[in-house]
Amino acid sequence: MRIDVVTIFPEYLEPLNVSLVGKARARGLLDVRVHDLRRWTYDRHHTVDDTPYGGGPGMVMKPEPWGEALDEILGTATSPAGTTPAAGTTPAPMLVVPTPGGRPFDQELAVELSGAPWLVFTPARYEGIDRRVIDEYADRLDVREVSIGDYVLAGGEAPVLVMVEAVARLLPGVLGNAESHQDDSFAAGPMSHLLEGPVYTKPPQWRDRGIPEVLLSGHHGRIARWRRDQALARTAANRPDLIARCDPSSLDAHDRAE
């Protein structure tokens, strides 16, 4: 997968050299390119923002640097939403615009993004990017405006780090054990609307605390049921909204399957 990020703070993306994403890059599974938006400015101050039309507080990112940057990075790539390019042509990029006004980022969207061959992220600062930029590229690309949560950050760079990590760990070969994201909270499957319960490792006794007996029993059916019960209790406590989306029959089927 190729990932391009256009930002006025390229150094903010340095964590993409570390840990899971850094290793995936080193192994050639991910091609990440970070671009400084100011490369496409030509005045002495490398200006990227201006006052908003209609008045109001804050500044808006100017369309020209974004347009030039995206034209150069995207080249001639086009893909009206929902279509795939012909064999042998450059894969169609998906443009991901982090904004608190976007659709919520969740595991389902992470899975969808992980299936794209090429993602281009446009993290903004200030009050956001001149709307014409998004409209311009939405005419020829699959453009997604995405929010990582109901709070306002100072810019889209931290959301890009969040989204790239969530996507990268889903790519084939990135996680050591190909199965290891299947049990994640929010992963598709019979427990899809439940949060993961508690986990334990050695030593069996730490301070005055032991391990729940059932986990030492070797009884896979009882362990699965205990994990399901723990997941349900945690979900009820922390995310009662998810319980409402739970299909009780699928939980019973899960129990029987163990």
Half-sphere exposure of residue 40: CA atoms within 13 angstroms, side-chain side? 21
Q: For residues 203 and 206, what is the distance between their CA atoms, to the nearest angstrom? A: 6
151 marked as part of a ligand binding site: yes
Query: Could you say which of 149, 198, 204, 210 contacts ligand ADE (CB under 6 A)?
Result: 149
Choice among 184, 225, 234, 239 that is catalytic: 184
Q: Among 73, 63, 158, 165, which residue's Cα sits nearest to residue 120?
A: 73
Choice among 100, 112, 222, 234 that is catalytic: 100
Told to check if 7 binds ligand ADE by CB under 6 A, we report no
- Positions 61 through 120 that interact with ligand ADE (CB under 6 A): 98-100
* Residue 14 a catalytic site member: no
Query: Could you say which of 152, 199, 237, 244 contacts ligand ADE (CB under 6 A)?
Result: 152
60 marked as part of a ligand binding site: no
153 marked as part of a ligand binding site: yes
* Residue 184 a catalytic site member: yes
Told to check if 53 binds ligand ADE by CB under 6 A, we report no
Choice among 38, 169, 225, 234 that is catalytic: 169
150 marked as part of a ligand binding site: yes
Min. distance of Cβ 73 from ligand ADE in angstroms? 20
Please give the torsion angle defined by the CA atoms of residues 50, 51, 53 and 54, in that order, rounded to the nearest 10 degrees: 170
Min. distance of Cβ 108 from ligand ADE in angstroms? 17
54: left (phi over 0), alpha (psi -120 to 50) or beta: left
Q: For residues 155 and 110, what is the distance between their CA atoms, to the nearest angstrom? A: 20
For ligand ADE, how many residues bind (rule: CB under 6 A)?
11
Q: For residues 93 and 122, what is the distance between their CA atoms, to the nearest angstrom? A: 13
Print burial letters for 73-96: b (CB count within 10 Å at least 16), e (below 16): bbeebbbeeeeeeeeeeeebbbbb
* Residue 100 a catalytic site member: yes
149 marked as part of a ligand binding site: yes
* Residue 127 a catalytic site member: yes
| Candidate ranges 21-29, 146-154, 202-210, 230-238; the one touching ligand ADE (CB under 6 A) | 146-154
Query: Tokens representing 229?
Result: 């019960």
**Side chain identity, residue 67:** G
Query: Could you say which of 153, 175, 215, 232 contacts ligand ADE (CB under 6 A)?
Result: 153
Told to check if 147 binds ligand ADE by CB under 6 A, we report yes
Min. distance of Cβ 146 from ligand ADE in angstroms? 6
143 marked as part of a ligand binding site: no
Q: Residues with Cβ < 8 Å from 30, sequence gap 6 or more?
A: 1, 2, 3, 21, 24, 168, 171, 174
**Catalytic site positions:** 100, 127, 169, 184
Q: Which spans of this chain sit near ligand ADE (rule: CB under 6 A)? A: 98-100, 147-149, 151-153, 156, 159
